[in-house]
Amino acid sequence: MIIARAANFTMPILLAAALFAGTRSPAAPAGDSATAVQVVRDDAHERVDILIGGQPFTSYIYPDTIKKPVLFPLRTAVGTVVTRGFPPGPGERADHPHHVGLWFNYSDVNGYDFWNNSDAIKPEARAKYGTIFERAIVSAKSGDDQGELETQSDWVIPDGTTLLKQDTRYVFRGGPAFRSIDLIIKLDAQDQPVVFHDDKDGLLGMRVRRELEMPSTEPGIFTDAAGNVTKVPPMDNSIVTGNYLTSEGISGDAAWSTRGRWCILTGKIAAEPVTIAIFDHPQNPNAPTYWHARGYGLFAANPFGAKDFTAGKVILNYTLQPHQSITFRYRVLILSETATPAEIDKLYQGFLTTYP
């Protein structure tokens, strides 16, 4: 749903960069200013709601039916939803039922597929799929200029074995024309080696709404790690405005499989210009990440898919030994403007200042 109201979509980039560079601890309760963030638990409905300036931004939801915790939906500062509906709404593509909001998982962990799992998987095939179970809300803090949520979850295979324990710290910020999410994700291997086998489907991903897809008049055919085929038919492009651009200057469909410090998706929803950016931290494994950025609306950062992304020239199987850990840091930024590469570079530097 689009919230229609007058707005000035020009964002003060330097002011935003200064806000992102700060690391003030959140206070409670949050005030009612445009930057105040409320983090509201609703355990009975398996969700935590995030409000900025008193308006909904996103919700952390973790019902078992979607097989992993996700942030859904994501909105701009104006209130416009930028993620595809769940289930998809009228005029949206109904492919890839596992694409819900913003998520973090992978398609081949010790041979088990966590990425493609959903309630659409037939019972006889579920032995090949893993599930990420929410285990605990460690903390939920509101604040005058940021809110924080810390969660714990387990990567579990069908026999009940936990391969990985995940601790995630989310930091939410916003202002009159931007919203942002920092994700600090720590994975701990348990009692056996854990191998992220080289595959294209991972790691931090989101699915955007129809207007932010790239125009296409051709049908698409996509195959996941288990060989399942998804056909994406051509659709009406009259409202489709999306385009990718990476930190290395690669745009459009050519952005897929390339590496970069950041990637942006720009477009327009009704009268609102929108830029969605994903920032990859240089200390993340195998940085800079590969971009699994598809014209049909999948926008993902995957450091572990080298074979598919290099046409077999590089093969990467990343292994965690028992009780070894890795940490990932990302920022997802949603702007109500069409940002330039120079502006995104400034904001990226603010991200590095926050997490040196």
CATH 2.70.98 applies to domain 13-354: yes
225 vs 299: which has the higher pLDDT:
299
- Report pLDDT digits (tens) over 199-233: 999 999 999 999 999 987 666 665 555 556 667 66
Structure confidence at residue 237 (pLDDT): 83
Q: What pLDDT band is residue 265 in, cutting at 50, 70 and 90?
A: very high
In sequence order, the 6+-apart residues with CB closer than 8 A to the CB of 268 are 211, 241, 274
Name the CA radius of gyration of the chain, rounded: 19
- Average pLDDT of span 33-46: 96
- 169, pLDDT greater than 60: yes
Does the structure show a pLDDT above 80 at 15? no
* Prediction pTM value: 0.89
Q: Residue 3, CB half-sphere, CA atoms under 13 Å: how many?
A: 13
* Sign (positive or negative) of CA dihedral 340, 175, 137, 208: negative
pLDDT for residue 113: 98
Q: What is the mean pLDDT of the chain?
A: 90
pLDDT in tens, 82-119: 999 999 988 888 889 999 999 999 999 999 999 999 99
Q: How confident is the model at residue 6 (pLDDT cuts 50, 70, 90)?
A: very low
Inform me whether the pLDDT recorded for 189 exceeds 50: yes
Q: Identify the pLDDT of residue 132.
A: 98
pLDDT for the residue 30: 52
Query: What is the reported pLDDT for 9?
Result: 41
Domain ranges across the chain = 13-354
pLDDT of residue 90: 86
Average pLDDT over residues 8-14: 44
Sheet containing 37-42: give its strands across.
37-42, 47-52, 55-61, 70-71, 102-106, 202-207, 298-302, 290-293
Residues in the chain: 356
Angle (CA) 141-38-86 rounded to 5° is 110
Which of 133 and 223 is assigned the larger pLDDT?
A: 133
- Indicate whether 8 pLDDT > 50: no
Regarding predicted confidence, which is higher, 47 or 223? 47
With a cut of 70, say whether residue 178 has pLDDT above it.
yes
Place of tokens 């932010």: 212
